[in-house]
Structure 1
Amino acid sequence: MASMQMERKLIANLGNQTPEVIHAERYMKWSNPHLGPLPPAIDAGNEIKIDYFVSKGAVVYVEPVLKEIGTSRAWVVAWDTLADTLIPPSPNKVYVTCGSKYEIEKMSDDEILEKLNESTSADGSHTDPITKATVEANLSHLIPDCNALKANFGISP
């Protein structure tokens, strides 16, 4: 039986646990590509809530150039809520990564999509050992036609 893809609303809570404001640099939309502007900046220590109608997408957040590390940190969170969650069970999934802005900018949209497609989990976390950037994300069902994404961008001590 073929899986039918269904658009679902996504409520995203994106948290900035860094001491700097971070800005969305790229926003990939593989479903509903014409919907929504670039997600807003997130002030230091704050969280934003966005209602998306993009069931499969990704966002790249970056911080200003920091003198102590000579570059900016960057974070990627990608999500896919198009999975058929009834028969056969197939979970929604996320892909996350982080590191220097230079390294993240080298990733193409297609590469991020490929990593998302390879993911098998609705949970993800990553810490970059060089920049100390961290990212965690969780994707869960709220009701049959809505999902919740919780992601936090941070810096490890």
Structure 2
Amino acid sequence: MAAMQKQDMRWEHIVAKMKNQTPTVMHCERYIKWSMPDTGPSPPPIEATGVTSFTGFVSKGAVVYVSSTKETCSVAWLLAWDRPDKYYFIPPCPNKVYVACGPKSVIEKMSDEEIQKKLDDAPSAEVAAIDPITKATVHAKLEDTIGIEMIPIDTALDACFGVAV
């Protein structure tokens, strides 16, 4: 039984590397955990022009980061991911990522259900977006790290939040 629990935890393991390309600190305003709602802390702040890593146990979730300065309007970035357990589905379900960015007021209005629907409809595990109003940008990629015997041992989520100049 312990071996089975360990294996289940491995499928939930996500290692996120998030890069902030803005001149201000970004804070996690919302963390949605669809697959394991009662686990782990929220993702940490990302320093201005910094990188942070976050290890979580949510295979399907979303995070909204916000940043605002006196010189610019409040901006938000949405990153949602789904890393299904490929061994439970035939044919296997692909990894998916959904991203959005723009005025904080617009991103905040998105319900958890709306975000989940957009994630479920997402076409791939690598996406990018740019908002024409705020010039906010986001790029994300979700991929499995393959171990011995071609079994996924980790899932890496790389995201980059910025503002086009």
The percent of aligned pairs where both chains have the same amino acid is 53
Greater relative CO, 1 or 2 (CA 8 Å, sep 6+):
1
Query: What are the within-5 Å matches in structure 2 for residues 62-101 of structure 1?
Result: 62-64=66-68, 66-69=69-72, 71-84=73-86, 87-101=90-104
Corresponding position: 1:102 with 2:110: no
- Does the 8 Å contact 1:74/1:101 carry over to 2? yes
Corresponding position: 1:31 with 2:39: no
Distance, in Å, in 1 between the alignment partners of 2:139 and 2:163 is 11
Corresponding position: 1:128 with 2:131: yes
Corresponding position: 1:149 with 2:157: yes
Corresponding position: 1:44 with 2:48: yes
**TM-score normalised by L of structure 1:** 0.90
Corresponding position: 1:16 with 2:20: yes
Query: What are the within-5 Å matches in structure 2 for residues 109-120 of structure 1?
Result: 109-120=112-123
Identify the structure with the greater helix proportion.
Answer: 2
Distance, in Å, in 2 between the alignment partners of 1:103 and 1:8 is 30
- Does the 8 Å contact 1:16/1:22 carry over to 2? yes
Distance, in Å, in 1 between the alignment partners of 2:157 and 2:63 is 12
Query: How far apart are 1:152 and its partner, in Å?
Result: 0.5
Cα root mean square deviation, aligned: 1.5
Please say which structure displays the higher CA radius of gyration. Answer: 2
Distance, in Å, in 2 between the alignment partners of 1:27 and 1:8 is 16
- Does the 8 Å contact 1:91/1:120 carry over to 2? no
Distance, in Å, in 2 between the alignment partners of 1:10 and 1:67 is 34
Gapped regions of structure 1 (runs ≥ 5): 1-5
Alignment partner for residue 138 of structure 1, among 123, 137, 141? 141
- Does the 8 Å contact 1:91/1:122 carry over to 2? yes
Distance, in Å, in 2 between the alignment partners of 1:91 and 1:132 is 30
- Does the 8 Å contact 2:84/2:94 carry over to 1? no
Gapped regions of structure 2 (runs ≥ 5): 1-7, 147-151
Secondary structure of 2:132's counterpart equals: coil
How far does the alpha carbon of each residue in 1:91-119 deviate from its partner, in whole angstroms, 9 at most, with x for none? 10000000000100110111111100111
